[in-house]
Amino acid sequence: MTALDDAPAASASAATGVPASQDVALQRATQWATEYAARLTERIQSHIAKQNGHSSAGLAPRIGEITAGDPVTGFYVAFDVAVTSPIQFGGPPPYQPSKIIKAGESAFIIAFMFANPLVDALHGFLVPAAVQLSNRNWRMTLDQLNLGTGAALTQQVVASTFVGPAPVLTPVVFSLPTLASPGPDPALIEANVTVEITDPAQPYAAFATDFFDVDYDPSFLGIPSTPAGWRNELPNRYLLYSN
């Protein structure tokens, strides 16, 4: 099951099959991101409940998974971010995962910012990271590079303030610059997401080393298929081609 299997129900307009406008697609992307973050948060909280009494338990960088850290060498992930590969919300669910996008079609990358709600005295977190980040300001950026030309695309920035305590997961939707034609040659784009806490004396920052590839790659020429799933330390890329 991929992340897209949990997509919200189609609206009346979506059911017509007519491609959605950018505004409608953004609305669907935001709704999906919010609802999926809520489901992931429930899973994380369920795992936390099962780990009750294990003070060294920490949340792994791969969102939604929990590991019980070793009493001496265990780790505590206080703050992190993970993203999806591009998703298109132009038609009815299930929404379309796509790393090859036709110019003029809307596409989005969804980022999920994580704040650890657990106490871990062993690793210096008598006050959980989620509590430390209460009412703190954060700034997330999407930086993209055209690998064919070496040109940087316009940086996208989203900034806001956590409530207290910070949510376990905060979804952020980035709209990819796919509406204009790249010209005679397809554009291969690499996307990177970073986030930092901008308040003084708050040394929190992260970049997405994990992304959830929602696209299923079928087998061909004897190369085995690759199911949708987490990719670690791999670039998050997509191809934009002209009409």
Q: Which domains does the chain have, with CATH numbers?
A: 3-241 (2.60.40.10)
Low-confidence winner among 12-26, 36-50, 52-66 (lowest mean pLDDT):
52-66
Q: Is the pLDDT of residue 56 over 70?
A: no
Q: Which pLDDT belongs to residue 19?
A: 56
**pLDDT tens digits along 68-111:** 333 332 467 889 999 999 998 876 665 777 889 999 999 999 99
Token pair 């708050």: residue? 202
Cα separation of 55 and 50, whole Å? 12
Q: Are 188 and 148 in contact (CB under 8 A)?
A: yes
| Residue closest to 207 by CA, chosen among 85, 44, 60, 61 | 61
pLDDT digits (tens, 9 = 90+) for 138-184: 999 999 999 999 999 999 999 999 988 999 999 999 999 998 899 89
Q: What single letter denotes the amino acid at residue 191?
A: A
Sign of CA dihedral 27, 28, 31, 36: negative
Name the average pLDDT for the chain. 80
Q: How many CB atoms lie within 10 A of CB 184?
A: 6
Instruction: Quote the pLDDT of residue 52.
Output: 55
Measured CA to CA, the distance from residue 56 to residue 72 in angstroms comes to 9
Taking only the tens place, the pLDDT of each residue in 17-44 is: 445 688 999 999 999 999 999 999 998 8
Pairing of strands 187-197, 236-241: antiparallel
Res 203: pLDDT: 80
